[in-house]
Structure 1
Amino acid sequence: MTALAAFLLALYAGLVGAALPGALARAAWPQRAPALALAAWFGLAATFTVAVALAGYHLALSGSRAHAHGLLALFEPGAPVSGAEGPAVLVPIVLGAAWPLARIVRAARRARHDRATHLDRLTLAGRPDPQLGAVLLDHPVPVAYCLHRGPVVISSGTVAQLTDGQLRAVVQHERAHLAGRHHVLLVAGAGLADAFRALPLGRGLRAHVAPLLEMLADDRAARTCRPEDLAAAMCEVGALRPSPATLPAGGARTLLRMRRLLRPAPRLRFAVRLVTVALIALGPLAPYLLTCGPTPG
């Protein structure tokens, strides 16, 4: 029965890693609920990790005397339920969890190094502007971004080209990134995308996490400034490439973000959000309940 469990878990992992990311990427609802969409992407990554680790665990058990646990035990009535025969069978679980975690740690170290390098350059090229509450960079190209834990960086070109309302909207957008600790999610997304880069799941994480974080910052900034000002500022601010060290105000999917601000769609209904949250939570739990959870009866 453990061989069957390994097979079913491998199928489940294939569904989560190859099929569901494409469906989520094509869906229209994430732009209406970016926080929920981020939870869905990270939920897929967690589900895939759990399913692969448990598939390896049950494959290691397939030659032992262990029997099925969880709901699969219903198909083996009367059989004794036993545990693993030795710690070696836990190696697949350890390896399955360690790989994505190691990629996240690697991305965090890279982001920390990039931030330190960037701060050294800002010390030479920028100066604090108390009125803006940001570091002013003497550069003609309109640029606005923030580093992890700050500061917000605004170029002189941005100040020259934006109106006061637009400039305030850009600063609020960057402060929203800092208040929401979006860099932590960006680093986690970059690490998981690297870990699963050969799969649609990894490519989806790389393509969608940063734009969804930008939408979250847009929504938060729009509470304290005019959405029209923020949308207009997006057209002027130069598009830096998002990295774990920087989150720019312009950039990823600017036209879509402008449309969201100028023509906001209605929020998802509460029942839809509730069902989506339940499915996200159930995803990583399902492999455990199916094969390793309490035995019925």
Structure 2
Amino acid sequence: MKTDVIFPSAGLKLAGHLYTPDSSTPGSEAAGPRPAIVVGHPGSGVKEQAAGLYARRLAERGFVTLAFDAAHQGESEGTPRGLEDPAQRVEDIKAAVSFLTTRDEADPHRIGALGICASGGYALSAATDHRIRAVGTVSAVDIARQFRLGADGTQDPAVFEGMLDAAAAARTAEARGEGVQTFQLFPDTAEQARALAGRHGFEGFEYYRTDRARHPRSAEFLTWSSIDRMAFFDAFRFVGLIAPRPLLMIVGREAVTSWMSVEAFQNARGPKELHWIEGASHVDLYDKEQHVGPAVAKLADFFGAHLT
């Protein structure tokens, strides 16, 4: 069952979908609160897309799950719209954990976090909150590394320096009353995406800008002020602090972003597992059943074993 919920995060109201197992779920007759999982969405995504899919599928496996829109995005509060603020995003995950501790359906001592794409990096950082008993990621990236170094890690440093110049100019323009300055996330056409953004960029275009998964509240732009907020962020800096709590990182074997999950995994102290999904790209793990099915099964086993 899906229920619309609202909860606070640093003074802003976040919109979420709370998923609970229905009467047909195995073990649903068991009394008492259930293990619960916070599910964070990819960068530019909303709760109705990949995060909602994983939340629903894990609820079918017996967990209480919460997918939510980050502050400044989707149905959640926050201006300017389209702001990607790593500090706020980490706080949003901790606020979601706080919300779950107030729900009768959820066991406050058995809460995990699942981050997809950018939220994978944010979940690693949010795990400094010891109420998070287990951490899972799918196609995890550190959004700051992605902007600084590119999805494949080979971007010319001059590209990000140019973005920082643009961010500085945008702040000046906003101070002069010229309004919030933004930049477009995806090209206008599939042809442009193929030509300008490479395989990874085209897959993002296909997911977010076509009937495959398009949603009217999914972000099509970010504020330029997001860039210098990301510049000093490092999602992997304190991944070692997750131990001795368990970590599972699920990665597509064909994902150009896989190097980031590998880096985070190498810095983690354990118990930890890096699980590869053969044949899957980064975005394939958002919605393609031949890849999502095995990922959900692995996550259900992982959280089932550790949220005890």
Give the TM bin, normalised by the shorter chain: under 0.3
Q: Which structure shows the higher helix fraction? A: 1
Task: Calculate the TM-score normalised by the size of structure 2.
Answer: 0.24
Task: Calculate the TM-score normalised by the size of structure 1.
Answer: 0.25
Which has the greater radius of gyration? 1
